[in-house]
Amino acid sequence: MKKRTIVILSILLLLIPTIFVVLKGMLVTYSVVSKEEKRFCPPSPTDIVQPKDRKLIKTGDLSFECRNLNVTRSEIETTVNQYGGFIAKERLYYGYNKETSNQELTIRVPSESFDALVADLSKGAQRVDKRSIEIEDVTDQYLDTETRLAVKRQLESRYRELLSEAQNVTDILGIEEQLAILREDIESAEGKLKRLDDQITLSTLDVTFYVRLNESPEFARHFRNGVGNGWENLIWFFVALLNIWPFILIVIVLIGGCRFRQKRNIK
């Protein structure tokens, strides 16, 4: 019994170094594999660097009252030129019932000067009726279009290589057809990027300014508005009567019948 125990212990003592070496090798292998997996695994969403320069499109709408259209137009043009912008479109027209003379300007200005321009134009206004600014983030749209364009350009280069290697007419015609489709897609994407670049680089501001014409005293204005409102209410009154004429006819017949009975009873 003692001999058997001594043999077992001896075997265990001999196996311990071997087991230690095997375990050490497994640990080293696991460490190497873990490092390689970490090296080749894709970055997590938090590791992806976000673009520093966001692609923003700024647009605005400004409406105000002024004292003189020509003077205000000249001042606006001077201010716009100072900020490196230009007037893309303008329109002159009369307001409701010719009570005001209005002028509209569409201004394009570098995006970095947009806020300062809106602030300066608002300062010179006699009364600001409306001021709104909208910012649209087109970063994802821009990057997606840019990526698709790069892929289509690479595919176009590959098709041109295949075209140079084509041996028969069928292959040449098929490749040329694919190249025509790709070229159309590429030009469309390039045009879209150009439009986005233009809107991102130059912001758009619609400015409307006006002067009041023949401004009458407050009592006269209220009197004129009262006459106009009264006339409109009278028209709507007759329209309402036309809509309920059957009920009016029934009431008239009932009243006439009652009076006729009363006269017969008296007789």
Using one digit for the tens of pLDDT, what is the confidence trace for 12-42? 555 555 555 444 444 434 443 344 334 434 4
In a domain, 252, yes or no: no
Using one digit for the tens of pLDDT, what is the confidence trace for 156-197? 999 899 888 888 888 889 888 989 999 999 999 999 999 999
Residue 129 has pLDDT above 80, yes or no: yes
**Same-domain status, 118 and 12:** no
From 51-60, 143-152, 233-242, the region with the lowest mean pLDDT: 233-242
**Same-domain status, 24 and 98:** no
Angle at 92 between CA 131 and CA 126, to 5 degrees: 40
What is the predicted pLDDT for the residue at 163? 86
**Same-domain status, 22 and 72:** no
Q: How confident is the model at residue 226 (pLDDT cuts 50, 70, 90)?
A: confident
**Same-domain status, 105 and 183:** yes
- Contact status, residue 180 vs residue 160, Cβ threshold 8 Å: no
- For the chain, the average pLDDT equals 79
Pick from 193, 214, 235: which residue ends a domain?
A: 214
- CA separation for the pair 45, 130 (Å, rounded): 42
- What pTM value is reported for the model? 0.58
**Same-domain status, 25 and 142:** no
In a domain, 178, yes or no: yes
**Same-domain status, 72 and 203:** yes
**Same-domain status, 66 and 90:** yes
Domain of residue 31 covers 1-42
**Same-domain status, 121 and 209:** yes
**Same-domain status, 82 and 189:** yes
Residue with tokens 């007037």: 87
In a domain, 160, yes or no: yes
Structure tokens at 87: 């007037």
**Same-domain status, 21 and 64:** no
Angle at 146 between CA 144 and CA 149, to 5 degrees: 110
- Contact status, residue 107 vs residue 88, Cβ threshold 8 Å: yes
**Same-domain status, 184 and 60:** yes
In a domain, 152, yes or no: yes
